Homo-oligomer: A and B are copies of this chain.
Amino acid sequence: MLSVAEARARILAPLRPTGTELVGLAEGWGRVLAAPVLARLTQPPADVSAMDGYALRAVDGVVGARLRVVGEAPAGHPFAGCVGPGEAVRLFTGSVIPDGADTILLQEDATREGASVTVNEACAARRHVREAGQDFRAGMVLLEPGRRLGARDIGLAAAANHPWLTVHRRPTVAIMATGDEIAMPGEPISPGGIVSSNAHALAALVRAGGGVPVTLPVVPDDRAALVAAIDQVMGASILVTTGGASVGDHDLVQSALAERGFKLDFWKIAMRPGKPLISGSVAGMPVLGLPGNPVSALICAALFLLPSLDVLSGQVAATPRTEWATLGAALRANDGRADHLRSTLSNGPGGELVVTPFARQDSGLLSALARADALVLRAPYAPEAPIGSPVQIIRLDNLGL
Q: Which residues from chain A sit less than 8 Å from chain B, CB to CB?
A: 25-26, 28-30, 41, 43-46, 50, 52, 73-78, 90, 92-96, 107, 130, 134-136, 142-143, 149-164, 179-182, 184-187, 189-198, 200-205, 207-208, 215, 221, 246-250, 292-294, 298, 301, 323-324, 351-353, 362, 364-367, 369-370, 390, 392, 396-401
Contacts and interface: CB of A to CB of B under 8 A. Distances in A.
Copies of this polypeptide in the complex: 2
Contacts of A365: 134-135
Nearest to A321: B397
Contacts of A247: 52, 107
Contact of A366 (B26, B159, B163, B203): B159
Contacts of A74: 180-181, 221, 249-250
A393 to B, nearest CB: 12
Contact of A134 (B157, B293, B362): B362
A95 B163 CA distance: 56
Contacts of A203: 26, 154
Given A25-B200, A52-B247, A76-B181, A194 B159 contact: yes
A400 B29 contact: yes
Given A158-B195, A221-B74, A370 B143 contact: yes
Nearest to A208: B151
A77 B200 contact: no
Contacts of A200: 25-26, 154-155, 157-158
Contacts of A292: 93-94
A308 B78 CA distance: 37
By Cβ-Cβ distance, the 7 closest A-B pairs, closest first, are A76-B181, A155-B201, A163-B186, A76-B180, A29-B204, A151-B205, A78-B192
Contacts of A398: 398
A322 to B, nearest CB: 9
Contacts of A130: 362, 364
B186 A323 contact: no
Contact of A364 (B135, B190, B201, B204): B135
A106 B324 CA distance: 38
21 contacts: A25-B185, A74-B250, A76-B181, A76-B182, A76-B192, A77-B181, A92-B246, A94-B181, A94-B292, A96-B191, A134-B364, A134-B365, A135-B364, A150-B396, A158-B195, A158-B197, A161-B186, A161-B189, A162-B185, A162-B186, A163-B185
Given A29-B208, A248-B92, A369 B152 contact: yes
